């Protein structure tokens, strides 16, 4: 999914709201914009809405996921779904690197399509294990990769085929 498409729709909803003279219609359009923002934050980071590809196609994976998937490949595990949902009793989680709550608040205040598009480009996901997700929880006051640094979770960039620098 491309962020400019979402940016255009969100900006258009905001423009309609700004031009509305009916308070009920304006409120309805505000709610529509809020829903569009929430949907965009998930859709942009999921890459693929299908369960089959939601996790497997993510660019960034944690050390725990890397180790788990590497081990499964070495063992010759090829069962469909193994790399997507649960494997060897390890639950995998689609985690927003830049937390949704902050992005939502920022996007609510934006009406310019280019600014909305720039904000949506910050939507990045990383696949982590359930245990790693719990390590991230105490660091919610931080955002982005710095949370991973504080939690001491290494991240592998599957596109660049290298570990991110801590």
Per-position pLDDT tens, the chain of length 166: 455 588 999 999 988 998 999 999 999 999 999 999 999 988 888 765 555 556 778 899 999 999 988 888 888 876 656 665 555 555 888 899 999 999 999 999 999 999 999 999 999 999 999 999 999 999 999 999 999 999 999 999 999 999 997 6
Q: Which positions ≥6 away from 40 have C-beta within 8 Å? A: 3, 6, 10, 107, 120, 123
Q: Convert the pLDDT of each residue in 41-64 to its tens digit.
A: 888 887 655 555 567 788 999 999
**Model pTM score:** 0.81
Which helix (H) or strand (E) segment holds residue 96: the answer is strand 90-96
Helical packing angle, 23-46 and 100-108, nearest 10° = 140
What's the rounded Cα separation, in Å, for the pair 51 and 152? 28
Helices (H), 20-112: 23-46, 63-74, 100-108
Q: Convert the pLDDT of each residue in 60-73 to its tens digit.
A: 999 999 998 888 88
Please name every residue paired with 157 in a beta bridge, in sequence order, or none if there are none: 60, 162
């Amino acid at each position: 999914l491309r962020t400019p498409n979402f940016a255009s729709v969100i900006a258009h909803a905001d423009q309609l709201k700004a031009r509305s003279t009916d308070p009920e219609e304006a409120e309805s359009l505000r709610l529509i914009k809020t829903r569009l923002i929430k949907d965009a934050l998930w859709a942009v980071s999921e890459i693929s809405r299908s369960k089959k590809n939601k996790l497997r196609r993510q660019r960034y994976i944690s050390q725990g996921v890397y180790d788990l998937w590497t081990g499964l490949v070495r063992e010759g595990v090829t069962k469909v779904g193994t790399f997507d949902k649960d494997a060897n009793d390890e639950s995998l989680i689609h985690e927003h690197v830049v937390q949704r709550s902050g992005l939502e608040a920022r996007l609510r205040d934006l009406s310019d399509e280019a600014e909305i598009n720039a904000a949506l480009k910050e939507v990045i996901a990383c696949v982590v294990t359930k245990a790693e997700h719990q390590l991230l929880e105490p660091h919610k006051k931080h955002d982005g990769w710095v949370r991973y640094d504080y939690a001491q979770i290494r991240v592998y960039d599957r596109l660049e085929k290298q570990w991110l620098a801590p």
